[in-house]
Amino acid sequence: LVFTEEDKYGLYSNLLFKYFLAEGIVCGHELFVASAKEHPDNILKELPAPLLDDAHGKELGDEAAALKSEDFQDSMKIAWRYQNLPKMEASPTTYTKFGHYYDISKKMSPELCQSVKWHSFYLHEELPFEPKMKTWNMNSGYARLLQSIQRIISQEGFDGSDPQKKQRNVLRIGIQSLGSVLWGDDVCCSDAPEDPHSLTKFLYVLRGLLRKSLSACIITVPAHLIQNKAIMERVTNLSDSVVGLESFIGSERETNPLYKDYHGKFHL
């Protein structure tokens, strides 16, 4: 669970959020995109295009060649005593390079986006069709989102506690601007919100779902708007990694010669 503190204008946090989703597509993972701000369809349309270099193509070509040569290898009998031994996999069947580069000036092609299965959750489309509920004693938006994530994990075969017949895959979950007013939460409105525990309760349940499933999750939160520091400490303690993005846009550091080669700070 990666917790990302949004920068003031949300420029770099949105970019990091899209990088996470784009990497999932290139690696062939399934996606679950949730937002109360921007429609998930529009988020996927704005993903950066990957830079698939010659090395990438060569590895894919070598991979295909290795698979193609299996029939030829089967016909080669080194010795009769090896004939009935099980075959060993010479190379992985999927592209396993760790990390890719992206061109933020270009958008990912629709064909590449459609090459993986993805699920969406747009709060304003979900709540009108659902009655107000206080499941897990939290606000209805968070409860509805948890139910949707739980359903996808169970139905799509990501539950690590259940034996699966089909090939395993990874589910990448991206949740945008959690804790904002758009989610029906008031932690950004006052240092003494009426419902100070919904966000932490949501994260407790989400951590439980992630622990027993083949899932990874990134959450962006407008931390600069949350006035209650105790809430922020509880939220960050519930995350595996916390990334803080500080942009120099609109600050005195933007014109400070000491920072002329930098756009902001990356707090880990």
Q: According to the model, what pLDDT value does residue 64 have? A: 38
The backbone torsions φ and ψ at residue 245, rounded to the nearest 5 degrees and listed phi first, read -110, 120
Q: According to the model, what pLDDT value does residue 164 have? A: 66
What are the helix and strand counts (H, E) for the chain? 9, 9
Pair (81, 187) in one structural domain: no
Residue 207, pLDDT above cutoff 70: yes
Q: Distance between CA 30 and CA 171 in Å, rounded?
A: 5
pLDDT above 90 covers a percentage of the chain that reads 58
List, for residues 115-126, the tens digit of each pLDDT value: 999 999 999 998
Residue 239, pLDDT above cutoff 50: yes
Residue 104 lies in a domain: no
Pair (60, 139) in one structural domain: no
The answer to whether 68 and 126 are in contact (CB under 8 A) is no
The backbone torsions φ and ψ at residue 39, rounded to the nearest 5 degrees and listed phi first, read -65, 135
Q: According to the model, what pLDDT value does residue 137 have? A: 80
Residue 240, pLDDT above cutoff 50: yes
The number of C-alpha atoms within 13 Å of 200 and in the hemisphere containing its C-beta is: 14
Question: What CATH number did the domain enclosing 239 receive?
Answer: 3.40.50.300
Task: Return the structure tokens found at 197.
Answer: 């525990």
Pair (60, 166) in one structural domain: no
List, for residues 241-256, the tens digit of each pLDDT value: 999 999 998 888 888 9
pTM of structure: 0.80
Residue 73 lies in a domain: yes
- Could you tell me the strand order of the sheet in which 30-35 lies? 118-122, 30-35, 171-176, 215-221, 2-5, 241-247, 264-267
Task: Return the structure tokens found at 224.
Answer: 């600069």
Residue 58 lies in a domain: yes
Residue 73, pLDDT above cutoff 70: no
Pair (61, 192) in one structural domain: no
Pair (57, 182) in one structural domain: no
Interior CA angle at 226 toward 221 and 227, to 5°?
165
pLDDT category of residue 80 using cuts at 50, 70 and 90? very low
* H/E element, 242: strand 241-247
Burial track 109-144 (b if 16+ CB lie within 10 A, e otherwise) = eeeebeebebbbbbbeebbeeeeeeeeeebbbbbbb
Residue 173 lies in a domain: yes
Q: Distance between CA 227 and CA 261 in Å, rounded?
A: 31
Number of folded domains in the chain?
Answer: 2
193: three-class secondary structure by DSSP: coil
Pair (157, 198) in one structural domain: yes
Quote the mean pLDDT of the chain: 83
Residue 92, pLDDT above cutoff 50: no
The answer to whether 243 and 267 are in contact (CB under 8 A) is yes
Q: According to the model, what pLDDT value does residue 135 have? A: 62
160: three-class secondary structure by DSSP: coil
5 contacts: CB under 8 Å, gap ≥ 6? 13, 220, 221, 223, 224, 242, 243, 244, 245, 267
Pair (44, 57) in one structural domain: no
pLDDT category of residue 20 using cuts at 50, 70 and 90? very high
Interior CA angle at 70 toward 67 and 76, to 5°?
160
pLDDT category of residue 165 using cuts at 50, 70 and 90? low
Pair (140, 119) in one structural domain: yes
Host domain of residue 79: 53-99
Pair (235, 168) in one structural domain: yes
Of the candidates 64, 99, 134, which is a domain's last residue?
Answer: 99
- Within its chain, how far is the Cα of 53 from the centroid? 24
Pair (44, 62) in one structural domain: no
Pair (44, 72) in one structural domain: no
* Burial (0-12, 13-18, 19+ Cβ within 10 Å), 197: middle
Pair (90, 29) in one structural domain: no
Q: According to the model, what pLDDT value does residue 250 have? A: 85
